[in-house]
Structure 1
Amino acid sequence: MLFNLLAPLADQFAVFNLFRYLTFRTGGATLTALLVAFVLGPRLISWLKTKQGKGQPIRTDGPKTHLSKQGTPTMGGFLILIGLVVSVLLWADLSSGYVWAVTVVTLGFGLIGFADDYLKVSKVNPKGVPGKLKLLLEVVVATGAVGWIVAITTPEHSTALAIPFFKDLLIQLGWFFVPVAVFVIVGAGNAVNLTDGLDGLAIVPVMIAAGAFGIIVYLVGNFRFADYLQIHHVAGAGELAVFCGALVGAGLGFLWFNAPPAMVFMGDTGSLALGGALGAIAVAVKHELVLAIVGGLFVLETVSVVVQVISFKLTGKRVFRMAPLHHHFEQKGWSEPTVVIRFWIIAVVLALVGLATLKLR
């Protein structure tokens, strides 16, 4: 909004020229989202405690140390979403279709997650929304967003899949690109959801991935940088750097209250929304495969669940002591802070590897 209102006045008032700079608005979005989260956090957490009573149900078959968390409210994802959306509306170019498409995915997945959290809390049932219905709703939202992204992207790139490490390799998938992109968005949403099991475990890797993609979208959206790095230029996609900045800021604000011992849990309201947002950003800037590297921690967590389920159904034996993967290490005796910090380190390393693909072409 500030860009649309103030940038046109830059010729009359030189100070407003700042709003033409994407880097300035990205920084502003980060700080705004952080401030909103700091201001609203205590009030929102107090309200959630009042409304939820016993808080999020804790799995009785999980690590026994988690039973002490009974009574902690969930739906803390609201804090992230409020800070994120307010910041994006304030600092982004609201004429950008990419910004709106990613925001729609974020809010749509957040609404699905809220329904799941609400049922868990109101019915004191950890299952929430039936899995098939939840997946169907996610596919509907993702399909609409992918169609939107395809419509506003240049024909050369709209339905193409870019391959990392190759500067000119674009695989034209035609309309088969739609289910592939939907899989990326839905998969990312659920992968982050599976990772959200320990205090601070999911939000920091999300911020790391968002920071990495903030760099990627800025470079992809800038013709000169894209040409220098020999990556595919997506006109207008650079505006998503503001979204990534806002996501980092909102995540930092949430982490203030989610740091061990957590005052509030993210819940599906946040985890589904943030994962979906990362997936949608990757689709918009043609870096779907790079997301699998940058968000490799989420992939590992998801694969551990898949392997566990398949192994148990086929052989009756479990590969891991408990899935997702972070619970396996807890069951091996690792303390929760040890698991969380080591997973953060893995997330940083994978993000650096993902960023390296920009030059290794």
Structure 2
Amino acid sequence: MRLCDDDWVVGKRRKMSDGLRGGGNDQQLSSPKTSTQKTLILLTGLMEGEAPLLLSSSPALDEGSCAAGWLDPSLLCFHPCFLTPLLSDAPLPIRSKDEEIRMKDMRRLDHELALKDIRRLERELAMKDEEIRMKDIRLLEHELAMKDIRRFEDDLAMKDEEMRRCCWAFSTVAAMEGIIMLKTGNLISLSEQQLVDCDVGNKGCEGGLMDNAFKYIIRNGGLTSEDNYPYQGADGTCYSEKAASIAAEITGYEDVPQNNENALLQAVAKQPVSVAIDGGGNDFRFYSSGVFEGDCGTNLNHAVTAIGYGTDSDGTDYWLVKNSWGTSWGESGYMRMRRGIGSSEGLCGVAKDASYPTVHE
């Protein structure tokens, strides 16, 4: 078969063209602008056992029609060489049984991997959603707790130790009042003077430790109220009968891991915490407002109560601290102390020695 012989192709085209003209009658192809017969037909008949050669437009088509440019040669004037692959007697390739199995396994593996990726993504999204949800819940719980504590603090008058070095007793009582309020809802002002007079593990208004005070309260079965045993601003005789009239009790206490502000943050998120600080500097003594970032060391010589934490409008993190120097000091008796200064001890050593009372329900 001479499929790629150009002379043969032209001859075949002439022969076909003459046949279409009806026995050799000379007819001019009508112009594409005036022709009314635009239907394309495919000559599917075989000529002398050969393949079809042309797509033609009725009534006739000669070899010049393509050259004339008014019929698209790519559609109407196929060279037989272009048809060779389509007319080949060679069978299409057939996949072997092993190839079919391999392709099936590949498709199954792709499907399994896709499902695995989808499930992994679903798990990650679910975990992320749960993490966000729990974070929101913890934040809400903290905000509600801190709101209650501040309301509680507002309902109880800010106390003043009158610079008598009885700060340890006031810090202990403030932490205890806070946990009692959170656990029972009862707002009880407890007696610092009972600790000053009766806690032999401490030294009254010469100084003391909050842990020793918690131990005394547990041994005594609790504390009496401030009304029953009011503050005198000096060491005195322990009134056992008054001390035995219990207004509130605790069952234990916990020490916060030392030099760890994150651990302190977790503790304060649950309840007020007694903390020891360096409060001997003038910057601390004369603090009036704002987030305190003043000059102070870590020589623990004063006790306060951390009742909350927050972030200032300029992005500065702080501890909310309750002092015992009356409402004329600081922000109505409170201080916002810089939190997260990059030192494990915290500003003024706030993370060095912290503890809080516990109450079993």
TM-score over 0.5 (shorter chain): no
TM-score using structure 2 length? 0.23
TM-score using structure 1 length? 0.23
Q: Which has the larger radius of gyration?
A: 2
User: Quick one: higher RCO (CA 8 Å, sep 6+), 1 or 2?
Assistant: 1
Per residue, is there more strand in 1 or in 2? 2
